[in-house]
Structure 1
Amino acid sequence: MEKILVISTMYPSETNPTFGIFVKNQVKELKNRGLSVDVAAVNDPRAGKLVVLKKYLIWILQVIYILLTRGWKYDVVHAHYVYPSGQLALLFKTLFRTRIIVTAHGGDLDKMAKKGQFFFKRTKQVLHEADHVIAVGEKLKIDMVTAFEVSEDKISVLNMGVNRKIFTPISQEIAKRTLEIPPPSIMILFVGNIIKAKGIEELTAAYRHLKENYRNLELHLIGAQKEPAFVKRLQDKITTNSIKDVTIHPAMEQRDIAIWIAAADVFVIPSYMEGFGLVALEAMSCHTPVVGSDVGGLHYLLQDQAGVLVKPKNKTSLSNGIESILKNDNLRNELIANGEEKAQLYDQEKLIGQLIKIYHQE
Structure 2
Amino acid sequence: MSQSKRILVLSNMYPGPKQATFGIFVKNQVEALRSRGHIVDVVAVDNPSMGKKQVLLKYSKWMWQTFRTLAAKGRTYDVVHAHYVFPTGMLALLFKKVFKTRMVVTAHGGDIERMAKKNERIRNWTKKILHEADEVIAVGQDLQQAIISDFGIPKENVSLLNMGVNRTIFQPQSKKEARESLGIASGVRPLVFIGNLIPEKGIWELLSAYEQVQKKDPAVKLYLVGNPKKPSFLETIHTLIDEKKLAVEIKEAVPQQEVAVWMAAAEVFVLPSHLEGFGLVALEAMACGTPVVGTNVGGLRYLLAEDHGRLVEAKDSTSLADGLHEVLVDAKLRQTLTENGFERVEQYDQERIIDKLLELYGNVEEER
Asked if these proteins are the same fold (TM beyond 0.5), I'd say yes
Where 2:222 maps in the other structure, the secondary structure is strand
**Where do residues 274-289 of structure 1 align in structure 2 (5 Å cutoff)?**
274-289=276-291
Q: Which amino acid aligns with 1:265?
A: E
Partner of 1:163: 166
- Confirm whether residue 298 of structure 1 aligns to residue 300 of structure 2: yes
Partner of 1:210: 213
Partner of 1:265: 267
Q: Give, in whole Å, the separation in 1 of the partners of 2:9 and 2:335.
A: 40
Q: Give, in whole Å, the separation in 2 of the partners of 1:86 and 1:56.
A: 14
Q: Give, in whole Å, the separation in 1 of the partners of 2:302 and 2:228.
A: 28
**Where do residues 85-104 of structure 1 align in structure 2 (5 Å cutoff)?**
85-104=88-107
Tell me if structure 1 keeps the 8 A contact 2:139–2:163.
yes
Partner of 2:333: 331
Q: Which amino acid aligns with 2:85?
A: V
Q: Give, in whole Å, the separation in 1 of the partners of 2:123 and 2:309.
A: 33
Partner of 1:12: 15
Partner of 2:313: 311
Give the TM-score of the pair, scaled to structure 1. Answer: 0.98
Partner of 1:241: 244
Partner of 1:38: 41
Deviation for aligned residue 1:160: 0.4
Q: Give, in whole Å, the separation in 2 of the partners of 1:319 and 1:68.
A: 55
Q: Give, in whole Å, the separation in 2 of the partners of 1:231 and 1:179.
A: 22
Q: Which amino acid aligns with 2:218?
A: R
Structure 2: state its 5+ residue gaps.
none
Partner of 1:350: 352
Q: Which amino acid aligns with 2:359?
A: K
Deviation for aligned residue 1:180: 1.9
- Confirm whether residue 139 of structure 1 aligns to residue 111 of structure 2: no
Where 1:82 maps in the other structure, the secondary structure is coil
Partner of 1:51: 54
Deviation for aligned residue 1:14: 2.9
- Between 13-22 and 74-83, report the one with greater CA deviation: 13-22
**Where do residues 161-200 of structure 1 align in structure 2 (5 Å cutoff)?**
161-200=164-203
Tell me if structure 1 keeps the 8 A contact 2:192–2:222.
yes
Q: Give, in whole Å, the separation in 1 of the partners of 2:5 and 2:202.
A: 42
Deviation for aligned residue 1:15: 2.7
- Between 99-108 and 234-243, report the one with greater CA deviation: 234-243
Partner of 2:111: 108
Partner of 2:226: 223
Q: Give, in whole Å, the separation in 2 of the partners of 1:25 and 1:63.
A: 21
Q: Give, in whole Å, the separation in 2 of the partners of 1:274 and 1:289.
A: 18
Deviation for aligned residue 1:349: 1.3
Q: Give, in whole Å, the separation in 2 of the partners of 1:65 and 1:71.
A: 9
Q: Give, in whole Å, the separation in 2 of the partners of 1:137 and 1:266.
A: 23
Q: Give, in whole Å, the separation in 2 of the partners of 1:224 and 1:95.
A: 38
Deviation for aligned residue 1:183: 2.5
Where 1:248 maps in the other structure, the secondary structure is strand
Q: Give, in whole Å, the separation in 1 of the partners of 2:64 and 2:245.
A: 50
Q: Give, in whole Å, the separation in 2 of the partners of 1:93 and 1:231.
A: 42
Match of 2:31 among 23, 28, 36: 28
Q: Give, in whole Å, the separation in 1 of the partners of 2:182 and 2:147.
A: 43
Where 1:165 maps in the other structure, the secondary structure is coil
Q: Which amino acid aligns with 2:147?
A: M
Q: Which amino acid aligns with 2:338?
A: I
Equivalenced residue count is: 361
Q: Give, in whole Å, the separation in 1 of the partners of 2:177 and 2:130.
A: 47
Deviation for aligned residue 1:304: 1.2
- Confirm whether residue 73 of structure 1 aligns to residue 76 of structure 2: yes
Deviation for aligned residue 1:329: 1.3
Q: Which amino acid aligns with 1:285?
A: A
Q: What is the Cα-based RMSD across aligned positions, in Å?
A: 0.9
- Between 256-265 and 175-184, report the one with greater CA deviation: 175-184
Tell me if structure 1 keeps the 8 A contact 2:108–2:277.
yes
Deviation for aligned residue 1:208: 0.7
Deviation for aligned residue 1:240: 1.2
Q: Which amino acid aligns with 1:7?
A: L
Where 1:83 maps in the other structure, the secondary structure is coil
Tell me if structure 1 keeps the 8 A contact 2:34–2:40.
yes
Where 1:89 maps in the other structure, the secondary structure is helix
Deviation for aligned residue 1:85: 0.7
Structure 1: state its 5+ residue gaps.
none
Q: Which amino acid aligns with 2:306?
A: D
Q: Which amino acid aligns with 2:277?
A: G
Q: Give, in whole Å, the separation in 2 of the partners of 1:137 and 1:303.
A: 14
Deviation for aligned residue 1:192: 0.2
Q: Which amino acid aligns with 1:118?
A: R
